[in-house]
C-alpha cells in the first residue's frame, strides 16, 4: 500500500476514534437527540445534491437510516451525555462486530468458526470487567445503552449486506434523510422544546464546528475515503486498521478530557481488542494451519 493511502486510512480511523471526544464537547451545549438530528440533517444536505440515490429500495434505506440515526447514535449520544465516558463508549460500541455475527447465525444460519466464539468470549469478558467497575462516569444504564446502540448498528449491517455492492457514501447520505424526522420528534419528546431552544441559542462556533465535524469529517470524509480505499486495495489490508478506532478513542479522551486509564480499563480494552483481532484474523489462520498440518 502506498504511504499516502496508509496515511489516509490512518486519518479516517483517527477521526472516527477521536470523534467521541467531539461528541462529548457538543453534548455540553446541545441535548442528545437534538445533536443527532443536526448531525444527520447536515449529512444529508447538501451532499444529496451531489450524490445520486443508490440503487436500493426505499425500505432498505429507511431501515438503515432509522437503525443508525435513532438506534445507534441516538442511544449513544443519550448515554454519553452523563452515563458513560467517551473512551469506554468508543470501545464498547465495537461489540457490534459480534452482534452482527450472532444475528447472521440466528437469522441466516451462517456458520461460525471456533475462533469467532473465542473472540466473542474475550470481548464479553471485557464488557464484564467494565460492568463490574461502574462509577460516577460510567453506569450500568450507560453500558446497557451503548450495547443496545451496538446491536442497532449490527442490525443495520445486515441491511447493508442485503443492499449488495453499492456506493456506500451515497447510501449513508440518502439514508440520513430517514433518520432526521424521528430524531426531531424524539428531540421534542426526550430533550423537550425548552432544552432544544436553549441548546440552539447557546451554541457557539465551537458547537457548530463539532456538529459539522461529525457530519462532514466523520461521515462524508470518513466513509468516502474508506470506500475509496476499499475499492483500490484488498479488504484485508484496510479493514484491520479499524481496530485502531478504540485506541484513538481512549487515547484522545485521556489526552483531551483527562479521562483516567486505570488498570481495569486497560484490561477491558485488551480483552475486547483481542476478541476483535481474533475474529478478524482467525479465519485466515485456520486454513494456513490446516494446510501446514496436511503437508
* Mean predicted confidence (pLDDT) in 63-70: 94
Q: pLDDT band for position 284 (50/70/90)?
A: low
Question: Tell me, what's the pLDDT at 118?
Answer: 86
- Closest by CA position to 177, among listed 41, 47, 35: 41
So what's the pLDDT on residue 81?
Answer: 93
In angstroms, the CA 270 to CA 205 distance is 37
Question: Tell me, what's the pLDDT at 287?
Answer: 55
Residue 285 has what pLDDT?
A: 59
Residue 198 parent element (H or E) = helix 193-202
pLDDT of residue 235: 63
pLDDT in tens, 226-242: 878 877 877 667 767 88
Q: Mean per-residue pLDDT for 35-62?
A: 94
Q: What is the pLDDT of residue 34?
A: 97
Asked whether 154 and 105 are in contact (CB, 8 A), the reply is: no
Q: Average pLDDT of 95-115?
A: 80
pLDDT-derived band at 292 (thresholds 50, 70, 90) equals: very low
For residue 224, pLDDT over 80 is answered with yes
Instruction: Please give the pLDDT value at position 48.
Output: 94
Mean pLDDT of the region 176-193: 96
Distance CA 83, CA 95 (A): 18
Please state the rounded mean pLDDT for residues 11-33: 94
Closest CA to 175 of 67, 62, 39, 35: 62
Distance CA 94, CA 248 (A): 13
Higher pLDDT, 261 or 197: 197
pLDDT at 6 over 50: yes
pLDDT in tens, 107-136: 777 776 778 788 888 888 988 988 888 767
Q: Which residue has the higher pLDDT, 282 or 5?
A: 5
| Banded pLDDT at 163 (limits 50, 70, 90) | confident
Residue with the three cell numbers 479493514: 239
CA distance 184 to 190: 10
**295 pLDDT tier (thresholds 50, 70, 90):** very low
pLDDT, position 201: 97
Q: What is the mean pLDDT of residues 154-177?
A: 88
- Which of these ranges, 22-26, 172-176, 258-262, has the smallest mean pLDDT? 258-262
* Mean pLDDT taken over the chain: 88
Q: Residue 168 contacts by C-beta under 8 Å, 6 or more apart in sequence?
A: 160, 223, 226, 227
Q: Which residue has the higher pLDDT, 164 or 80?
A: 80
Amino acid at each position: 500500500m502506498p504511504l499516502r493511502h496508509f496515511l489516509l486510512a490512518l486519518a479516517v480511523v483517527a477521526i472516527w476514534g477521536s470523534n467521541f471526544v467531539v461528541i462529548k464537547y457538543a453534548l455540553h451545549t446541545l441535548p442528545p437527540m437534538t445533536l443527532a438530528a443536526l448531525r444527520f440533517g447536515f449529512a444529508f444536505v447538501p451532499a444529496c445534491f451531489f450524490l445520486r440515490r443508490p440503487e436500493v429500495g426505499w425500505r432498505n434505506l429507511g431501515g438503515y437510516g432509522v437503525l443508525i440515526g435513532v438506534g445507534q447514535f441516538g442511544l449513544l449520544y443519550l448515554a454519553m451525555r452523563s452515563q458513560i465516558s467517551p473512551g469506554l463508549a468508543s470501545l464498547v460500541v465495537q461489540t457490534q462486530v459480534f452482534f452482527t455475527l450472532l444475528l447472521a447465525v440466528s437469522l441466516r444460519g451462517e456458520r461460525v468458526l471456533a475462533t469467532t466464539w473465542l473472540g466473542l468470549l474475550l470481548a464479553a469478558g471485557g464488557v464484564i470487567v467494565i460492568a463490574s467497575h461502574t462509577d460516577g462516569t460510567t453506569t450500568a444504564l450507560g453500558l446497557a445503552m451503548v450495547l443496545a446502540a451496538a446491536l442497532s448498528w449490527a442490525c443495520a449491517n445486515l441491511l447493508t449486506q442485503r443492499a449488495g455492492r453499492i456506493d456506500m457514501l451515497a447510501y449513508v447520505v440518502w439514508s440520513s434523510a430517514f433518520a432526521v424526522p424521528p430524531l426531531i420528534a424524539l428531540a421534542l419528546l426526550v430533550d423537550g422544546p425548552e432544552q432544544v431552544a436553549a441548546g440552539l441559542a447557546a451554541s457557539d462556533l465551537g458547537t457548530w464546528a463539532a456538529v459539522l465535524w461529525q457530519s462532514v469529517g466523520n461521515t462524508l470524509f470518513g466513509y468516502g475515503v474508506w470506500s475509496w480505499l476499499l475499492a483500490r486495495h484488498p479488504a484485508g489490508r484496510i479493514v484491520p486498521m479499524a481496530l485502531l478506532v478504540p485506541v484513538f478513542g481512549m487515547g484522545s479522551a485521556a489526552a483531551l478530557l483527562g479521562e483516567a486509564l486505570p488498570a481495569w480499563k486497560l484490561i477491558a480494552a485488551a480483552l475486547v481488542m483481542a476478541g476483535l483481532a481474533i475474529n478478524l484474523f482467525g479465519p485466515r489462520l485456520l486454513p494456513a494451519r490446516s494446510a501446514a498440518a496436511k503437508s
